[in-house]
């Protein structure tokens, strides 16, 4: 969770942030910095969050990132008229969620079906891009939004519209799912070796490797073009 006031002096003044031990340069756009220093639709006091139609939460503070999203829906037009949020997370996660809140509520609000179709790259495109290692930060926001929308569907007796997250087991021995491989790719692993370092998929079960390589290509293309 970020506090109401953020001191700009605690963040590097340069737009380039170089991780220790690597040759990578992380370039944060002015849009990203604006949404970090001046987050839109941020909740600072949860006691004020009343009368909302849907609440979604993903992640865990024990694991690092956690996010809550509240939405208000125009039931006549099936549009999201307001989205508020609160998060434990890095600057990229804060900026991505802030931008997402703008995307779904601007211009009279986004149709719910369109909001459900938002992909992480839609958010990063609006931010003017994120460092490869930080694209996974935008995933948390769209998942929390889907959770809030599903909560709205249940509360408004539209259970037939609830969207279930599809997860398929790829390697039963290592207990690795397609979702685990997707997360690894989003965190920067784009080769079989890199994915195996993160998940151990196929290490003791080499017959699944062709499928794993196919999934790596699919998710790399999906998120990075």
Cβ contacts of 173 within 8 Å, gap of 6 or more: 204, 205
Q: Do domains 8-158 and 169-224 have the same CATH topology?
A: no
pLDDT in tens, 161-193: 998 877 888 998 899 988 889 888 888 898 999
pLDDT at site 155 = 93
The catalytic residue among 94, 118, 123, 137 is 137
Q: What is the DSSP letter of 19?
A: P
The catalytic residue among 9, 62, 63, 225 is 63
Instruction: For residue 90, indicate whether it is catalytic.
Output: no
Q: Got the DSSP string for 133-145?
A: GGTTHHHHHHHHH
Instruction: Please give the class, per CATH, of domain 8-158.
Output: alpha beta
What six digits make up the tokens of 55? 């609440």
Q: What is the DSSP letter of 47?
A: G
pTM of the model: 0.70
**Per-residue tens of pLDDT for the chain, all 225 residues:** 444 433 332 333 344 444 455 555 567 889 999 999 999 999 999 888 999 999 998 875 544 567 899 999 999 999 999 999 998 878 888 999 999 999 999 999 999 999 998 888 888 889 998 776 666 666 678 888 999 999 999 999 999 999 887 788 899 889 998 888 988 888 889 899 999 999 999 999 899 998 899 889 888 877 776
Topology of domain 169-224 in CATH is: Arc Repressor Mutant, subunit A (1.10.10)
Domain ranges of the chain: 8-158, 169-224
């Amino acid at each position: 969770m970020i506090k109401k006031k953020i001191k700009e002096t605690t963040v590097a003044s340069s737009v380039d942030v170089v991780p220790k031990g690597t040759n990578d340069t992380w370039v944060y756009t002015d849009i990203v910095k604006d949404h970090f220093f001046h987050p839109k639709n941020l909740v600072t006091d949860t006691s004020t969050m009343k009368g909302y139609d849907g609440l979604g939460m993903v992640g865990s503070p024990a694991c690092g990132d956690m996010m809550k999203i509240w939405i208000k829906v125009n039931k006549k037009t099936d549009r999201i008229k307001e989205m508020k949020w609160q998060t434990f997370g890095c600057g990229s996660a804060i900026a991505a969620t802030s931008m997402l809140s703008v995307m779904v509520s601007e211009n009279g609000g986004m149709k719910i079906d369109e909001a459900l179709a938002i992909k992480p790259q839609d958010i990063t495109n609006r931010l003017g891009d994120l460092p490869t290692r930080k694209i996974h930060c935008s995933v948390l926001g769209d998942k929390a939004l889907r959770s809030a929308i599903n909560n709205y569907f249940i509360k408004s007796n539209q259970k037939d519209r609830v969207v279930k997250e599809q997860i398929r087991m790829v390697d039963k021995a290592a207990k690795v799912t397609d979702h685990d491989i997707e997360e690894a790719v989003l965190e920067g692993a784009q080769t079989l070796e890199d994915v195996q370092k993160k998940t151990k998929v196929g290490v003791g079960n080499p017959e699944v490797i062709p499928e794993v390589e196919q999934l790596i290509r699919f998710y790399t293309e999906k998120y990075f073009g």
